[in-house]
Structure 1
Amino acid sequence: MTYAGSHRLGVLSLDVDRDVFELRRQGQLLCKALGLKGHELVRVVTVLSEVGRDLLGSSGLQVELRAEERSEGACFLASFTWRGSGRPGAETVRAARRLLDRSEYRTSEEGHTLTVGQRLPSTGTSRRQLIEQAHGAVLGSGDLSMSEELRSQNRQLLRALEESRAQQEELRRLNEELEETNKGVVALYSELSSELEETNTGVVALYAELEDKTRQLRLASEAKTRFWANVSHELRAPVNSVISLARLLMASDADPLTPDQRQQLSLIAGSGSTLLALVEELLDVAKAESGRLEPAPADTDLRTLLHQLRGTLGGTAHEGVRLDIPDVSDFPRLVTDEVMLTRVLRNVLSNGLKFTTSGEVRLTVETETRGGRTWFVFTTTDTGIGIPLDQQDRVFEEFYQVLGMHQRGQSGTGLGLPYARRLTTILGGTLALSSAPGEGTTVRVDVPAELDAPAANASDPDRDAPRTAEPVGRLGSLVVVDDDPTFLGLLRPTLERIAEEVTEVTVSSRAFEVIRKRKPDAILVDLVMPAPDGYTLLGVLARDPVTARIPVVVLTSTDPSEVDRTRLTHARSVLNKTHLDRERILLALGLAPAVSAPASPVAGDAPAESGRTTA
């Protein structure tokens, strides 16, 4: 370290006790002159006295007092030097290090050096003036008087005691304030802890209440889903009967009808079809909510699909409104669930037609490539009344209908758009809406060109059923087991075109006996019957060697996906009762090629000459 200057203030030899007193006196005078005072002054002179007494008697002991200018500031130093084997006491060295800013001990062959020092405070007086004051203080101090020195030390000790007492008083006062503060903190902590405990109790109670409400909502949702499914199931069979009976009465080979009767039957059939579509939508919504609605992807003829939409919706437009559905060609392959896609587009277009009183409702079809995947984009635009911005999210809530002029004179359940969006999501796509009052509405439906098929069910009896068997004429005999006489009456013309002899069993307990006796070529079994139900009958048929080889097709009013397929044993297929025709039944039995034309309703099959037995 570079010194900016070193000034010797004096050198003392320490041989007797009186020399130690002189060292203390001169050290005190010099330190005062250099600006040290108070505790710092007492610490310096105390260390000088203790080191001097500790080393007294050492050979050649002397002390040099000086002031040094260093880079970190001025410092008062006292360097003790001596020869021989004497060493300062460990306690003395520790005290010097604890009380002063500097304490260094070095030893060599020439002797020993112990340097102690204290930084000097900054003052307005120049350092030269301070040095001159220090010299003057020592020179003008006179000879040493032991009694005066003792009195001086006593006065210093008294001042130190007074300062210490004052500090103790201040410390006591601070401790009292701290204690009061601690009491306040403890009281505040107790209050906050109590409030926090009350809050936590409230939170726990609220959480329990929320959990209970969540459970109740879940149970209510499940009950609602079961209600929809049960009611829809119970409605489907009679509605289908109404439609089929109306079509039977209007068939070309039925008794002639007056124009008014034909018109009335047409209205009955049309209303029945609308009601059946609504029932099927309710069932689909219920299944979608419970996660049981799965798509059945297959090659889709988009041109035929759009043609059917054009024919179905063309008559529903208001007078003066044009429905524009394109006749597409040269589009990429589309693999999706055709039924679901048809329902999505039908709902979106129907919604546009319902709220458009002039202008047009237009559907456009485009393809886009995103992320290496092809997407079909179906965009419906209309010139209708539009939807307010604050209502555009709510129209996707089930059963919600926009209030005001939007619903004036319009019927509906509020299921159309929510149902369409659910189906679009199941198809792997998205449905987005944009609209403004008076400016019409645009709905965009994006679906992937290829929808991945769900994993096959290992217990699905359709999975291994033959699909390319050679067509046959008519079976020799067939047994149908069903307790619904209305359904049997509707199905009878179709069955008479399939088999020469049809045996109807309406009491399930007699079914096994009749089947074992007649040994028919095929069996149709309803699942939901009074005991024994269809599942039980299937098990009995499978265990008997005589009946186990007879092909069986299951009939049900519920969706085939809801059937417990693990209990179907050797049944070949599951068919829904809603749309049954000759080709579908033969295909399910493995006796006809895949159906290539749209299925006709039950009533559309003309009866053929055959025998019929009721058991």
Structure 2
Amino acid sequence: MTPRAALPLLTSAVGSEQEIFALRRSGRVVAQAMGLDNQAQVRLATALSELGRDLLGVRGLNASFTLAPGEAPALLVTLRWEDRRRSPGEETLEAVGRLLPGAVRRPAVPGCLVVEQPLPGNSPSPAELAERTLRVLRAQPAPNPMEELRAQNRDLIAALEDSRAQREELQRLNEELETTNQGVVALYSELSQELEDTNRGVVALYAELDDKSRQLREAGDARTRFWANVSHELRSPANSVIGLARLLLDADEDQPAEERRHQLALIGASGSTLLALVDELLDVAKAESGRLDPHWSSVDLRILLGQLRGTMRGLVQSPAVTLVIPDPLRPPELTGDEVMLTRILRNLLSNALKFTEQGEVRLEVATERAPDGSELVVLTVTDTGVGIPVDEQERIFEEFYQVRGPHQRGRSGTGLGLPYVRRVAELLGGSVSLVSAPGRGTTVTLRLPAVPPALRTAPAAGGAPARLAVLVTVDDDPAFRSGVRPVLGEIADRVVEVPRSADALAAVRRERPDAVLLDLHMPAPDGYQLLADLAADPLLRDVPALVLTSARSADLDHRRLVHARAVVEKTGLDAARLARALALGARVGATGPAPDGPAGTPAGPGPDGPAGTPAAAAPRPHGDGTPP
């Protein structure tokens, strides 16, 4: 398709300053008629004025305005002159290029310059646009230089205003950018700090993982030692029992009675060995998990030492070894668990006798002062046996660990005795230390507080517990309140019953009791919420709160019982059990020991979860330390 010819609009000569003003005005008027905005009009008019002024004086200079139709119609302003050696200066062309980027074209023919201004996309048809422009041009008055100068000044002022507005906008944008940069810097600093903290946390996590890995390796080693030692120790008496039982089953009826009695005695001895080993394993597991609870009472050391002399004498296997357990001239008073203490001393004495071939094994009792001024009862077991190397003296307190060597020949054992001793001693509030040298014997020292710290503010074991002045009980069950009323009357001078849990806090604030008994399952607020409310109140948080419940331990939310001093079962509740729970729970606190048996347990962290559970009572051996 042949391009459509340009539509002529205006041609004017440019030979004087007045004609330059006319050229500027013509450019402004044509641009306005073409539908260009005010800024585009000023730019085009200024560009034509600058080009005309730069070429002023050139022979034959004229400017023609045409409309170029097409898909993208444009206004074309063509400047022509006769002196083809003359052209606009570079500064002028650069200035025009800034006003109209890409608008100036230089045709191949010298003495010609074209300024192209694209028209808006919504313009009328080229013919209509040309006709409208010609009509506007014919209506224009004759050019007036002063009026053109004023118009130019107005354009300049408008441009300056526009420039100032743009500068202010640019300043505002710079301020926003600076504020954004400050926010970015602050965010970067915060992110850097968080990253640094995260890195520290990762490093700590790796250290913890390394520690856990080490613990897992140690646990694996302990498990290996467990199977290596316990499987042998369990199999030996079990095989003996099975083998002897088969002999008895297969024996003739005329087998001598003496031989049959001997085989039965061997079965009984093997069964006792097996039972003792199982008891030892269970006790270590209970001590490790916190399920082995002390039963506090006054311990008569004179009687205990006498029992040990009688029971341990049978373990002396060589006439070259002497067992010495002298009676102390003035035995110290000791509050503790007699059965646990007996087992500790039996383990220490049996170990000493097992590895002493000549000399003596001695148990002595003394007292000393602890750094806090309290009295300690010191029991020392000394032997003249094989001794223990220095590098293994700490490891012998690990479960199932045994010092290897010829001294083990003919001496069975599981490696559980000393770990049990240490754990139970710590459970009683004491400690165990060891001094030994190969070939020079071993000294094991057990230090126990004369009165355990948990009981120093509680009434003496075996004595009548101190009565409470005021006791508040919160329970919505009238039958239980009626049944427990006589029990509470035996331990408290005044009992305030609160049947509605919503009234509990007001009653506690009013009465300021020595203790509060709470049921857990009540209409809102339930016992869990009351515990939290008591702990949150600065005036009430020190009032000891004990939980009375008939629910099973597995059904309790132990994480919400951390503020309870003890958990007491409602079933079979009597004054003695409740008094022990109050003595060891209300006065000792959440970290104190559990009362005797199932009467109550501390509600702090326990073996089965973060809030603990009532531990099963450990089997109670006879007074001499042997299993029942």
- Fold match by TM threshold 0.5: no
The TM-score normalised by the length of structure 1 is 0.37
The TM-score normalised by the length of structure 2 is 0.37
